[in-house]
């Protein structure tokens, strides 16, 4: 059996309580005794039992992440693995672990949160894929567990948010296309129940408005390849079909680009395409995809850090805003087809291309890392 606090107490010739004080840096033991206890603990190789700690302090020393995506879609999205890796970097420094659940099917998500909370598995949750009027926010309030949301929800939320602005990346994509002379720039949106689905659409609308162009080429989809393909087919069927499509993520862009090519269109000759996320494989598409390089690892690390700070009461409750992702121009975007360019918009000079992922400060400005 493993060595317990009683063994240490016996070895050091003190009581259990004294050992507990000494090892938690609490007052109540003299410097000499403390030293003796620490020495004994080290010699015996004592590791406090998290189970016992958890029982007496009513903590789980774990954070929860519930993923409610379709498993088949999960595998295609590069976001989660990197996001999780980021969480780990923050957790590994404190004795916390990540409890991951995948909920599939209606109602499964809520059951999942309830179960983890009621079983006392976790001390807090990381909320991803925040939805319009997200039901998980009142749920977690009911369950009385702290949380951190990725981006600020559109409903009232008492939880701090860690945000990475969608708007800038989409705006940059639209501006890039406008500069290339495109005037019919469509958007294939992600699920509009997600706030990032909505915000990307809104960013597209505003950017077009700024450029004095109509935002009438919208097709809703669901972030899946199949959805992106169907939406693309719909757009290309129109008489006023677009010369460029801004997709809400890479997977839809990949499928859309593929579909356009099967229809005999050249990318970017006849149709320019942009994605979002910078999935690894997009640089090996033919043509490589112009996309927006997000930093899911950083996001995960900061979100976990904020949640941990909240648990140790050292968080100020403020939202954290991460640096906005930047556009990565590759070969899937090009000048608008001849005869399509607006009269006063000749092919512009070379567009500034961000080839490197942007530099991020090690710690975001609004966070106080201990």
Partner DNA sequence: GATCTCTACTAAACCGGTTCAGTTGGGAGT
Partner DNA sequence: ACTCCCAACTGAACCGGTTTAGTAGAGATC
Interface ranges with DNA (CB under 7 A): 1-2, 4-6, 13-21, 23-24, 27-34, 46-49, 51-53, 55-58
Residue 330 CA to residue 290 CA, distance in Å, equals 4
Cβ burial of 317 (10 Å; 0-12, 13-18, 19+) is exposed
Residue 261 CA to residue 246 CA, distance in Å, equals 16
Shortest distance in whole angstroms from residue 151 CB to its own copies: 20
Q: Which is nearer to its own copies, 194 or 258 (CB)?
A: 258
Site for its own copies in 253-312 (CB under 8 A): 254-255, 257-258, 261, 279-281, 283-286, 288, 296-297
Residue 126 CA to residue 151 CA, distance in Å, equals 11
Number of residues that bind its own copies (CB under 8 A): 59
Shortest distance in whole angstroms from residue 313 CB to DNA: 13
Residue 25 CA to residue 316 CA, distance in Å, equals 25
Site for its own copies in 106-135 (CB under 8 A): 112, 116, 118-121
Q: Could you give the C-alpha distances from 317 to 148, 293, 321, 364, in angstroms and in order?
A: 10, 28, 13, 15
Please choose which of DNA, its own copies, none residue 6 contacts, taking the beta carbon within 5 to 8 angstroms, the exact cut-off set by kind.
DNA
Answer for which of 28, 55, 266, 351 binds its own copies (CB under 8 A) is 55
Please choose which of its own copies, DNA, none residue 18 contacts, taking the beta carbon within 5 to 8 angstroms, the exact cut-off set by kind.
DNA
Answer for which of 3, 54, 165, 179 binds its own copies (CB under 8 A) is 54
Q: Which is nearer to DNA, 20 or 151 (CB)?
A: 20
Please choose which of DNA, its own copies, none residue 347 contacts, taking the beta carbon within 5 to 8 angstroms, the exact cut-off set by kind.
none
CB distance 127 to 166 below 8 Å: no
Q: Which is nearer to DNA, 57 or 239 (CB)?
A: 57
Residue 150 found at the interface with its own copies (CB under 8 A): no
CB distance 370 to 204 below 8 Å: no
Nearest to 164 by CA among 7, 323, 280, 312: 323
Q: Which is nearer to its own copies, 9 or 65 (CB)?
A: 65
Q: Which residues pair with 245 in a beta bridge?
A: 186, 273
One character per residue 191-230, x = contact with its own copies (rule: CB under 8 A): ----------------------------------x---x-
Interface contacts to its own copies, rule CB under 8 A? 47, 49-52, 54-55, 58, 60, 62, 71-72, 74-82, 84-86, 88-89, 92, 95, 97-102, 104, 112, 116, 118-121, 225, 229, 251, 254-255, 257-258, 261, 279-281, 283-286, 288, 296-297
């Amino acid at each position: 059996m493993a060595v317990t606090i009683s063994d240490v107490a016996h070895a050091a010739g003190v009581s259990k309580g004294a050992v507990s004080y000494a090892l938690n840096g609490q007052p109540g033991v003299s410097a000499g005794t403390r030293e003796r206890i620490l020495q004994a603990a080290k010699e015996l190789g004592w590791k406090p039992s998290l189970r016992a700690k958890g029982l007496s302090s009513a903590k789980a020393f774990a954070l929860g992440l519930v993923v409610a995506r379709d498993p088949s879609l999960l595998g295609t999205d590069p976001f989660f693995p990197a996001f999780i890796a980021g969480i780990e970097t923050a957790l590994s420094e404190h004795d916390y672990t990540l409890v991951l659940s995948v909920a599939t099917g209606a109602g499964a998500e809520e059951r999942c949160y309830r179960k983890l909370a009621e079983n006392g598995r976790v001390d807090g949750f990381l909320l991803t894929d925040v939805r319009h009027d997200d039901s998980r926010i009142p749920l977690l309030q009911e369950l009385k567990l702290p949380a951190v949301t990725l981006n600020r929800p559109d409903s009232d939320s008492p939880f701090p948010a860690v945000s990475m602005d969608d708007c800038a990346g989409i705006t940059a994509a639209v501006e890039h296309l406008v500069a290339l002379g495109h005037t019919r720039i469509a958007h294939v949106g992600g699920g509009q129940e997600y706030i990032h689905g909505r915000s990307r659409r809104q960013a597209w609308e505003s950017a077009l408005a700024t450029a004095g162009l109509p935002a009438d080429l919208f097709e809703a989809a669901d972030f899946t390849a199949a959805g992106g393909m169907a939406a693309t087919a719909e757009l290309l069927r129109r008489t006023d079909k677009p010369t460029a499509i801004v997709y809400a993520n890479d997977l839809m862009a990949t499928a859309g680009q593929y579909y356009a090519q099967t229809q005999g269109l050249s990318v970017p000759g006849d149709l320019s395409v942009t994605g979002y996320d910078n999935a690894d494989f997009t640089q090996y598409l033919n043509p490589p995809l112009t996309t927006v390089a997000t930093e899911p690892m950083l996001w995960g690390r900061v979100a976990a850090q904020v949640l941990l700070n909240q648990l140790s009461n050292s968080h100020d409750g403020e939202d954290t805003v991460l640096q906005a992702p930047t556009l990565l121009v590759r070969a899937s975007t090009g000048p608008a087809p001849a005869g399509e360019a607006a009269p006063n918009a000749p092919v512009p000079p070379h567009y500034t291309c961000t080839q490197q992922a942007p530099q991020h400060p090690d710690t975001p400005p609004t966070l106080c890392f201990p």
